[in-house]
Structure 1
Amino acid sequence: MAKIAFLLLCHRDPAAIIRQAEGLTGAGDYVAIHFDARAPAAAFAQIVEGTRDNPNITVVRKRVKCGWGEWSLVRATLNTIDTALDTFPRATHFYMVSGDCRPIKSAEHAHAVLDARDTDYIESFDFFTSDWIKTGMKEDRLIYRHLVNERKNKTLFYGLLGLQRKLKLERKVPADIDVMIGSQWWCLRRATLEAICAFLRERPDVLRFFSTTWIPDETFFQTLVRHLVPRSEIDSRTLTFLMFTDYGMPATFYDDHYDLLLSQDFLFARKISPEAATLKEGLDTLWTSGRRDFPIAGDGRRLFTFLTQRGREGRRFAQRFWERESTLGRDRELVVIVCKKYHVAKRLAQSVRDHQIMPAVDYLFDEEATPMPDLGGIESTLAKRHRHRRALVRMLYRRMDTDALAICLDPVQFDLLQDFYADRAAIRTLLVDCDYDANYLEGHAARIGLIGDQTPRTTIDRLMPTVAQDFATESLRIREADLPHIHRIQQSAPPDANAAVLAEVFGVDAETAQALAETPFLFDD
């Protein structure tokens, strides 16, 4: 059976660290604590004294002053590994955690996961070809020597970097090493760590190389594990659930995130807020609960992104240069049917086609499967359609031999609507306001991956008002944008009222407009 030795790197709140370590050993596992050498001596003494009577806890005596992005974090980890290997000979797995981490499953569940596969869990992606690094330095992390902390002395850090670039002091990665990158929160087997320690004794050049790289805690172990362990024995994922904000900082969890955390397919989570006392207590109790029933819901990261960055996903903030120079045509008309319920807009578009008012294309910018004529490949993917949106619509006019066209659009595509209004063509927008009941809101959340079959009811209930507000905000944003020729029909309005609007939008007689308004089952779900 798996026995875990937790490698706990921390720097503050000794009383909380003692409680955390006691909780993690409550199911028979082990903890090796590295307490930052920058912390007061009295705080370190408190940890030593507070854990003295627990044989499953050891405190690393060879402490390091740690700084973000520095080699010191790796050095502290290596010291903690040495202590844990020597002190806990029965430990089978070694799991990196911080003082901000807490379990989101029971110890029994965690042991079962580790027993099920003879595997190392560590993110390990190719440093040069993957897109793991989203912003900032990439190759410069490795090929130049970094001797000072960027956060503490930006002027000196970037001054030394610039000097090395000027003097062409690039260095090469050790020839037999393929550098990998990934999260520092890993879980490795004893044999893997023993192999790493042996390798480092034989290869001091590798140790020297990484000791002057920038943010080596994201590359050092990730690289050595891939170098020493067969690929079939590596699961390139972390067992610790963490998310990042818009600014690249770890998201923080609070008391009301308990259900969300338990439904994620991970064993631990970070960062737990220092103020989330109820959450910490609940998760600490969970670790020794013996519980095995953990329904796994949808992607928590997707949910977090939805709640914090609504509308940003896939949005472009600037036009492509060829779009600025293109136009739909001064004498052409475009009717944009904007509706969140796709089936409603599609029924209206079909009715427009049936009455031969003008060609109408369904959600060409929202659904890749929308039927489209052959436009030379520009229509083949959503990415291409968005990249050449005006050119795409211009080609539709030509292909359909018309100067009037209707298209359907999700209200989330506000930037695309603004782009059309910047054109010389005559643009009219028809907002179709629908009623949304609880079943539809939940179905929408499931379709876009916010919730799954196992999502807790409490999470769904908290999410639904946000989804409903999101719908309302998207429509309101269009209505308040001061764009010309915005018209609106409503599910709650009588057909006669909607017919008057439709007559103006499509330029049809009253009889045809009434037929459009009375399209069979138009607003039915």
Structure 2
Amino acid sequence: MATIAFILLCHKDPEAIIQQAQRLTAAGDCMAIHFDANAGAADYAKIRDALADNPRVTFAKRRIKCGWGEWSLVQATLNAVEAAVDAFPRATHFMMVSGDCMAIKSAEYAHEFLDADDCDYVESFDFFESDWIKTGMKDERLIYRHYLNERKHKRLFYWALETQRKLGLKRAIPEDLQIMIGSQWWCLRRRTIEWILDFIRKRPDVMRFFRTTWIPDETFFQTLVRHLVPEGEIRCRTLTFLMFSDYGMPVTFYNDHYDLLLSQDFLFARKISPEATELKERLGDLYSATGVRFKVSNEGRSLYKFLVGRGRIGRRFGQRFWETESTLGRERELLIVVCKKWHVAKRLLGFIKHHMDVPAIEYLFSEEDTLLPDLGGIQASLPKRMRHQRALMRMLFDYFNTNRLIICVDPANIELLRDFAGDRSVTRMLEVECEFSDDFLVGHAMRIGLAGEHTSPETWERLIPTIRYDIVYESDTIRDAEFENHTRLRQSASLDENAASLARFLSIPQDKAREILDADYLFSD
């Protein structure tokens, strides 16, 4: 049976730390604590006194002052790890937690989870190839030396960086290491921890390198685990559920997040609000409970992203200069079927292709596996297609040797529609308006990952009206854009009305359009 040694890095709120240590050790696990030396001696003494009689708690032998982005965070972790290895010889797993973390599963569940798979859990993505770093410095974290804290000495920090850049003082990365990056919230087996401690004793060159990297807590353990452990024994994920806002700030959880947290495929969550006393009490009781069954739907991140993004007006990125200066071609005509029900749009494309010789492609900007010709790799992935959307469309026109092309676009992709509508080519849009039952919206939410089989009824009560409003909002946004050559095909309209709209869209006689639409199952689900 797994026994977890929690590695707790903390710097405030001694009362909460005491409660956390008591809760997590009550079920047979243990804990090593590093309390930041920047904090007051009285707070540290309070923690030590309160936990002095708990044999499952130990403390790092040396406290150090920690600073965000500094090596000190890694050193503090290593100090606590060494204390845990010495004090708890029966610990099978070592798991990083902070004072803002709380368990969202029972100890019984956590132990069974860890016993089920003999592996290490750590996010570790290639530093240079991945897009894990969204903003700020990247290569500079490694190739230059960082002795100052960016938050405490901002001007000196960037002066030192710029001086090294001007003088060409780049340094080499240790040749035998592939630098990896990921979350600092890992869970490692005892064998892996012992390998890491042995490695750092033998490789002072690696230690010198990481001591002057910037934000090494996101690269040190991530790199060493990949270097020392066979790939098949690593799960590239964290067991701590955390989310970040659009501004790069951690999302905080409150009392009404209890059900959402329990349904995520993680053992812990951070950050829990200090004011969420009810949530803390319920999660605290949960860890020592037995016989609890968890229904994991794991929709937390997608649900949060969906709900907080409703009603936004601004956009994050503008067009690139080479996109605004390029064109599909003045003589070309791009026909766009805009529909939320993808199966209806695909069915309509099938009807059109049966009666007309016009190349038609389904949701190429929404579905990874859309059937596309080989265009030299530009079509290989959705991010590439979106980055080079006009170039991709020009190549498709050339490939099919045509001046008319039909594609399908989801109405949520309003920026794509605006881009194509602003091109010098002729762009026609046919918005297909469908009716949406609650059952369809439930299925839609599950298909796109907003919800799962175990999503609670309370969540559905909030989610279904939000999705319905979102669909209406997307349609209103398209109409407000006042696109030229925009027509609508409506499920509630008559065959003659829809035939007139399709005739305008395809520039064909209305009789021909009526023939295309002469099927009573176009809008069937």
Cα deviation, residue 222, structure 1:
2.6
Q: Greater CA deviation, 199-208 or 14-23?
A: 199-208
Q: What's the RMSD between the two structures over aligned residues?
A: 3.3
Q: How does 1:256-267 map to 2 (within 5 A)?
A: 256-267=256-267
Q: Distance in 2 between matches of 1:207 and 1:516?
A: 70
Q: Distance in 1 between matches of 2:176 and 2:144?
A: 19
Cα deviation, residue 514, structure 1:
5.1
Q: Distance in 1 between matches of 2:208 and 2:256?
A: 45
Q: Greater CA deviation, 339-348 or 19-28?
A: 339-348
Cα deviation, residue 294, structure 1:
2.4
Q: Give the AA of the match of 1:268.
A: F
Cα deviation, residue 299, structure 1:
5.2
Distance 1:373 1:72, change over 3 A: closer
Distance 1:484 1:60, change over 3 A: same
Q: How does 1:26-65 map to 2 (within 5 A)?
A: 26-60=26-60, 62-65=62-65
8 Å contact from structure 2 (residues 327, 425) kept in 1 = no
1:321 has 2:322 as partner: yes
Q: Greater CA deviation, 234-243 or 104-113?
A: 234-243
Q: Distance in 2 between matches of 1:374 and 1:176?
A: 37
Partner in structure 2 of residue 434 of structure 1: 434
Partner in structure 1 of residue 342 of structure 2: 342
Q: How does 1:389-400 map to 2 (within 5 A)?
A: 389-390=389-390
1:167 has 2:167 as partner: yes
Q: Greater CA deviation, 301-310 or 100-109?
A: 301-310
Partner in structure 1 of residue 12 of structure 2: 12
Distance 1:290 1:517, change over 3 A: same
Partner in structure 2 of residue 520 of structure 1: 520
SS in 1 for 2:193: helix
Question: Structure 2: which 5+ residue stretches go unaligned?
Answer: none
Distance 1:190 1:376, change over 3 A: closer
Q: Distance in 2 between matches of 1:54 and 1:393?
A: 67
Distance 1:131 1:41, change over 3 A: same
Q: Distance in 2 between matches of 1:157 and 1:469?
A: 48
Alignment length (residue pairs) = 523
Q: Distance in 2 between matches of 1:12 and 1:446?
A: 40
Cα deviation, residue 176, structure 1:
4.4
Q: How does 1:98-247 map to 2 (within 5 A)?
A: 98-247=98-247
Cα deviation, residue 158, structure 1:
0.7
Q: Distance in 1 between matches of 2:357 and 2:230?
A: 64
Partner in structure 2 of residue 304 of structure 1: 304
Distance 1:226 1:498, change over 3 A: closer
8 Å contact from structure 1 (residues 323, 390) kept in 2 = no
Q: Distance in 2 between matches of 1:398 and 1:223?
A: 46
Distance 1:260 1:484, change over 3 A: same
8 Å contact from structure 1 (residues 320, 387) kept in 2 = no
Q: Give the AA of the match of 1:194.
A: E
Q: Give the AA of the match of 2:417.
A: L
Distance 1:196 1:429, change over 3 A: closer
Distance 1:356 1:132, change over 3 A: closer
Q: How does 1:369-380 map to 2 (within 5 A)?
A: none
Partner in structure 1 of residue 91 of structure 2: 91
8 Å contact from structure 2 (residues 102, 268) kept in 1 = yes
Partner in structure 1 of residue 489 of structure 2: 489
Cα deviation, residue 19, structure 1:
1.3
8 Å contact from structure 2 (residues 302, 450) kept in 1 = yes
What TM-score does the superposition give when structure 1 sets the normalisation length? 0.87
Identical residues among aligned pairs (%): 58
SS in 1 for 2:22: helix
Cα deviation, residue 86, structure 1:
3.0
CA offset digits 1:202-244 (Å, max 9, x no partner): 4444333322221111222233334444444433332212222
SS in 2 for 1:27: coil
CA offset digits 1:186-213 (Å, max 9, x no partner): 1223333334334434444433332222
